[in-house]
Amino acid sequence: MRNLDIATLRSLQAVAEHGAVTRAAESLNMTQSAMSMQIKRLEEVFDRPLLEKQGRGVVLTDFARLLLTESRKLVALNDGIIARFTGVRPECRLRVGLTTDWPMLHFTQAVREFREANPHVEVVLSDGYSTDLRKQFERDEQDVILTTELDCGDEGIQLYEFDLNWIGAAGGKAWQRRPLRLTNSLNCVFLQAGIAALEAAGIAWEHAAGASSCERNLMLTAADQGVNIFLRKIPREGLERIDHGGALPPLPPSCLNMYLTRGPVSALASEFGRYLRRAVQDEKMEQAAA
């Protein structure tokens, strides 16, 4: 029984992340020839090709992708043992900002899986309004951000397009009152969409007094002090989608977007982005089944 070399598995991971042997070698402080030799050694172990040329770069073969999934576990276990018994701390940080609008369950699982595969990386999590996250990203204060916006910025990657909904208290009457009181935060992009739709329909509106944080705003809504514009998934008990029968105007679709840094940790950001994509897919499947 032969033994796998952790270094060769790291090389495979690096090529998968960078899509080119040269850039992968640079990320591990190796020469291109040394990286190529590592991949060749791994191919000899399994007697299977691992890389295919695609354009100016390379991609993993189907077999290599299967191997990559399993090899991440072995590399993570190796690094975990080293960290536990030597006290070695994470080598770098990945700053991640998540929108407060989107359900967090699958995202927290994505963070956990990423950390298990990359124990040398410390993930610094924060949440906030999408407008604030975009500003932080532009100031290079975040490496990865996930935002909900009415469209997608030039540097963003649209992960999902979803419908907005009028949300009110269960059995509430606030949606029938005029002017219509809105409980979204002034910083919320959904509020902008709602205001535009109401003004186009000639419906008077006002902003609810006391609206501030997302959680407080949902409390105001559940207390029938106004209506909220939110995702299809109801965020808490006591709320429901308003069956207004056309009394309220339709709302435009919105986007869940991801922005990845091009800075020094761009490779890690891209890898973390793959975990986020999978989390979004899981959330979409749950919503479709609901």
160-211: per-residue pLDDT in tens? 888 899 999 999 999 999 999 999 988 888 999 999 999 999 999 999 877 6
Q: How confident is the model at residue 19 (pLDDT cuts 50, 70, 90)?
A: confident
Instruction: Measure the CA–CA gap between 265 and 261, rounded to whole angstroms.
Output: 7
Q: What is the pLDDT of residue 225?
A: 95
Secondary structure E strands in the chain: 51-54, 57-60, 92-99, 121-128, 144-149, 157-163, 165-169, 180-182, 205-207, 228-230, 239-241, 253-260
Q: What is the pLDDT of residue 57?
A: 75
Q: DSSP string spanning 98-125?
A: EESSS--HHHHHHHHHHHHH-TTEEEEE
Question: Domain limits of the chain?
Answer: 6-86, 92-162+255-289, 165-251
Q: What is the pLDDT of residue 91?
A: 64
The pTM of this model reads: 0.66
Neighbouring residues of 44: CB distance < 8 A, sequence distance ≥ 6: none
CATH code of domain 165-251: 3.40.190.10
Q: How many CA atoms lie within 13 A of 85 on its CB side?
A: 5
Q: How confident is the model at residue 244 (pLDDT cuts 50, 70, 90)?
A: very high
Q: Do domains 6-86 and 165-251 have the same CATH topology?
A: no
* CATH homologous superfamily for the domain 92-162+255-289: Periplasmic binding protein-like II (3.40.190.10)
**Architecture of the structural domain at 6-86:** Orthogonal Bundle (1.10)
According to DSSP, residue 88 is labeled P
* Mean pLDDT computed over 92-121: 82
Q: Residue 69: phi, psi to the nearest 5?
A: -60, -45
Computed over every residue of the chain, the mean pLDDT equals 87
Q: What is the pLDDT of residue 102?
A: 76
